[in-house]
Amino acid sequence: MPRLTEQEQQDIIRFLEADKPLPDKYRFLLFEDKREVELVWNGKTNEVSNIVLPFQTIEQVDEPRAEKPEDAALQMSLFALDERGRQLQGWTNKLIWGDNKLILSSLKSGPRREEIEAQGGLRFIYIDPPFDVGADFSMDIEVGNETFTKKPGILEEIAYRDTWGKGDDSYLAMIYERIAQMRDLLADDGSMCVHCDWRLNSHIRLILDELFGRDRFINELVWRYGKMSNATRRFPRNHDTLLLYSKGDDYVFNPVMGADSEYKARFERHLDGNRVLYGTVKSSQDKLIIGRERKVQKELGRELVDDDVLFDFDAEFKTQDDVFYDISIIKGNADQRLDYPTQKPEMLIERVMLACSNEGDLVADFFGGSGTVAAVAEKSGRKWIAADLGKFAVHTTRKRMICVQRELKAAGKDYRAFEVLNMGKYERQHYVGVNPDLREEQKQLQLAAKEAAFVDLILKAYRAEKVEGFEAFSGKRAGRLVVIGPVNMPVTRLFVEEVILECRKHQFTKVDVLGFEFEMGLFPSVRDEARAKGIDIAPKVIPVEVFDKRAVEKNQVVFHDVAYIEVKPHVNSNTVAIELTDFSVFYSQDSIAGAEDSLKKGGSKAVVENGQIVKVTKDKDGVVTREVLTKDWTDWIDYWAVDFNFESKRELIRVKDEGSEDWVERWTGDYIFENEWQSFRTKRDRSLELRSVAHECPPGRRKIAVKVVDIFGNDTMTITEVNIEGRR
């Protein structure tokens, strides 16, 4: 510690005795770890999360869409198989749903780190985190010819409040911790690119300087996207900033040919001593017009037409510089446009990714959004990890990546499998407060104690009264008993059967069963069985939002009925096809009565009430009309997929062995949904097939799983069992 003068020592004692904070100057006098320039905010800390939670594999997509039985065999021949089934040997790309703080800490310090290191480490990370204090997680969803705005879930609002609740302080704390974790995940020769705009780019630059070091700064890239405005009190804002930093002195960098250089190579046949010439090209993307049009028009004796191309190659040609002026924002009719907020052009990401990584490298995006980084990585032969907190973002990326797989398959190119992961029940244990580092016995004791407090929270959120003296029942509401399922596992058939037994014992006839997850295929079959015994069972999904006590206090938490799927298998000797015959949801968002009261004359609003989306309109005379937008059950479906041999691949996780630091593999008791056939809506094609391809199967009984994702991004699964007799 530096030597202090006697006066400085007395000042410190006086401040401490008065219980007052020390002046800032003592921060630099007392501690050796001083920085010449540092960004400081209220509550700043160098601590980062070290929580390690297992990842659940909930879905795997190896085959984008088998149209005929031989398609699957053809695809399998493209890659080596390992002993676990239809999975690529080696790396499988990863799409992760969850809080990226927990995702990053679990990747950094958990067993998945070995998988990452086996690929040479993370070579390149690109992130485009939210920078707009006014941003939210609302999504515009197409329903027929109308657009409905889905409000964010409370979980997403929690993230929003945690990020912006204290203004810049809370945002900087959030981004500082996550960038620190990403830096630690990078390979020694890796680099990271942070996309930002005018709001906080100066703050982010200082954070990156601090975490990576000023000498690790590579570039400040300017993306001039060509979007002009009519600002009158400032110059129109017309660019974003991309900050590029390396982890070490040596890093991957492949110089990118500049726009002018590309055109020079493309049109070299038109050159004559680097003078202005004209030529004819076939593709509109090859058109480049650079100055001196009048002179050329005079030489030609006519005006220029669309097929004329002008060149000015008097200048020296170099590699791409740090200003990107040739990449525009995504236009409304572009194939890649998904109408996703903050979506960036693939060309922008591609330029930076190809410069900072090589084919076969592993790249990542932990604010995944609509999946642009993953799409570019797949198309350019990179391996990838993409993560996002928003369920709708993960679903959007899943569809996008299946489309990329289909494109590559149609072109005869290789493509890599990807899996959808989350931390599910393990993340819930973390929210409840269970220490994952405890021994199993201690963990169960702590879980029991925490769950007792958790039950009280659930009952309060459900607005139910607590009851005592029962094994199954925790509360009652409006003449119905309330049962709360376990926090760390799905509600099973055995659990529900025990509820039915206790209902019959006490002669109860109405009960609500609340659970985070329900055993696949449990409803509606078990509800029908209960009704046959005179018991009305209503399953309700506990939203993750119950962990936000503020939302509970304000009665903002909504418990939805469990959606259910009906399917019909079509078995023909050695093949089976699945037909989707019904799908029901029971969502509510706002109310019809509330919309009618709040609407101004000439206005309209779409609301969700009891599983129907209704457009409420008030004309200029104040007359209110209602139009149901979800005219058919299929209007609720955005995507559905089939696993023709469910329970063929067990879900394995790696956890610490009891009393050891070694990671061991354990079966969770669940199975991975292997996505073999799917139909979904896209922006350009809103149609949906309701019958799958006929899939060839060996003789015997098998379970077939069907997954449906609704237009809000929520998924539901059911299982049907069939008997394949085989050819006679």
Residue 373 DSSP SS3: helix
For 56-256+321-427, give the CATH class: alpha beta
Distances (CA, A) of 72 to 433, 639, 644, 673: 44, 21, 12, 16
pLDDT digits (tens, 9 = 90+) for 11-27: 888 888 888 887 767 76
Which range of 322-326, 431-435, 462-466 scores highest in mean pLDDT? It is: 462-466
Task: Provide the pLDDT confidence category of residue 597 given band limits of 50, 70 and 90.
Answer: confident
pTM given for the model: 0.81
Strands 575-584 and 695-696: antiparallel
Average pLDDT value over all residues in the chain: 82
Per-residue pLDDT, 31: 65
504 half-sphere exposure, CB direction, 13 A CA radius: 11
> What pLDDT was estimated at residue 178?
95
Q: How far is the C-alpha of 44 from the C-alpha of 177, rounded, in Å? A: 10
Dihedral class, residue 406 (left if φ above 0, else alpha if ψ from -120 to 50, else beta):
alpha
- Of residues 541 and 316, more confidently modeled: 541
Cα–chain center distance at 103: 12
Length of the chain: 728
Neighbours of 31 (CB within 10 A): 10
- Residue 673: pLDDT band (50, 70, 90) is very high
Pairing mode, if any, of strands 418-422 and 56-61?
A: antiparallel
Strand 510-515 versus strand 480-484 pairing type: parallel
User: Residue 135 and residue 154: Cα distance in Å, rounded?
Assistant: 15
- Read off the DSSP letter of residue 416: -
Q: How far is CA 108 from CA 103, 187, 211, 385, 425, in A?
A: 8, 12, 16, 13, 20
**Quick check: helix, strand or coil at residue 649?**
coil
Is the predicted pLDDT of residue 248 greater than 90, yes or no? yes
pLDDT at 299: 60
Mean pLDDT over residues 384-400, rounded?
A: 91
Across 94-113, average pLDDT: 93
Residues 229-238 have a mean pLDDT of: 82
Query: Which of 217-226, 357-366, 653-662 is least confident?
Result: 653-662
Q: Residue with structure tokens 């418990």? A: 559
Q: Who has greater pLDDT, 552 or 115?
A: 115
Residue 73's pLDDT band, with cuts at 50, 70 and 90, is very low
In the numeric block, the tokens 């027929």 are attached to: 144
Does pLDDT of 119 surpass 90? Answer: yes
pLDDT at 325 over 60: yes
Q: What is the DSSP letter of 21?
A: P
Cis omega (within 30 of 0) for bond into 524 = yes
pLDDT of residue 316: 46
For the segment 112-121, the average pLDDT, to the nearest whole number, is 93
C-alpha dihedral (519, 521, 527, 528), degrees to nearest 10: -160
- What is the C-alpha end-to-end distance of the chain, expressed in Å? 88
CA neighbours closer than 13 Å in the CB half-sphere of residue 19: 0
Asked whether residue 251 carries a pLDDT value surpassing 90, the answer given is yes
Q: Residues with Cβ < 8 Å from 341, sequence gap 6 or more?
A: 135, 139, 369
* pLDDT tens for each residue of 477-525: 999 999 999 876 788 888 999 999 999 999 999 999 999 888 776 777 7
Cα 417 to Cα 411: distance, rounded to the nearest angstrom: 17
Task: State the pLDDT at residue 164.
Answer: 63
* 461 has pLDDT over 60: yes
| d(C-alpha 476, C-alpha 510), whole Å | 10
Residue 89: the pLDDT is 61
pLDDT of residue 464: 95
As a whole number, mean pLDDT of residues 438-456 equals: 81
Per-domain boundaries in the chain: 1-34, 56-256+321-427, 259-310, 433-557, 564-724
Q: Which residues of 231-261 are buried (b: 16+ CB within 10 A; e: fewer)?
A: eeeeeeeebbbbbbbbbeeebbeeebebebe
Considering only residues 594 and 177, tell me which one the structure prediction assigns the higher pLDDT.
177
The tokens describing 580, both together, are 């989707």
| Region 683-701 average pLDDT | 91
Question: Which CATH architecture does the domain made up of 433-557 adopt?
Answer: 3-Layer(aba) Sandwich (3.40)
Which residues are within 8 A (CB) of 448 and not within 5 positions of it... i.e. 6 or more apart? none
Sign for the pseudo-dihedral over CA of 672, 678, 684, 685 = negative
- Output 37 or 620, whichever has higher pLDDT: 620
Query: Which long-range CB contacts under 8 A does 201-207 form with residues at least 24 apart?
Result: 201/241, 201/243, 203/39, 203/168, 203/172, 204/175, 204/243, 205/243, 206/37, 206/38, 206/39, 207/39, 207/172, 207/175, 207/176, 207/179
The structure tokens 């018991």 sit at: 535
Q: What is the pLDDT of residue 355?
A: 95
pLDDT band at 382 (very low <50, low <70, confident <90, very high): very high
- Distance (Å, rounded) from C-alpha 1 to C-alpha 22? 17
Q: Give mean pLDDT, residues 538-555.
A: 81
pLDDT in tens, 265-322: 544 444 444 344 444 433 333 334 443 455 556 666 666 555 554 544 444 456 788 9
**8 A C-beta contact, residue 718 and residue 705:** yes
Q: What integer pLDDT is reported at residue 80 of this predicted model?
A: 39
pLDDT, one tens digit per residue, over 150-184 is: 776 655 666 666 666 667 888 888 899 999 999 99
Quick one: pLDDT at residue 424?
67
User: Tell me, what's the pLDDT at 179?
Assistant: 97
Q: Look at residue 236 in the predicted model and tell me its pLDDT.
A: 83
Instruction: Flag whether pLDDT at 200 surpasses 60.
Output: yes
Higher-confidence position of 488 and 603: 603
Distance of alpha carbon 503 from alpha carbon 527, whole angstroms: 14
Q: Residue 260: which pLDDT band, with cuts at 50, 70 and 90?
A: low
H helices within 592-716, ranges in order? 592-598
The answer for residues whose C-beta is within 8 angstroms of residue 377's C-beta and 6 or more apart is 93, 353, 363, 383, 384
Q: Is the pLDDT of residue 143 over 50?
A: yes
CB burial readout 292-320, b (16+ within 10 A) else e = eeeebeeeeeeeeeeebbbbebeeeeeeb
pLDDT for position 685? 87
Whether the predicted pLDDT of 703 surpasses 50: yes
Highest mean pLDDT among 241-255, 313-327, 401-415: 241-255
- pLDDT at position 293 is 52
Q: In what order do the strands lie in the sheet with 612-618?
A: 604-609, 612-618, 624-628
Contact indicator for 265, 257 with CB cutoff of 8 Å: yes
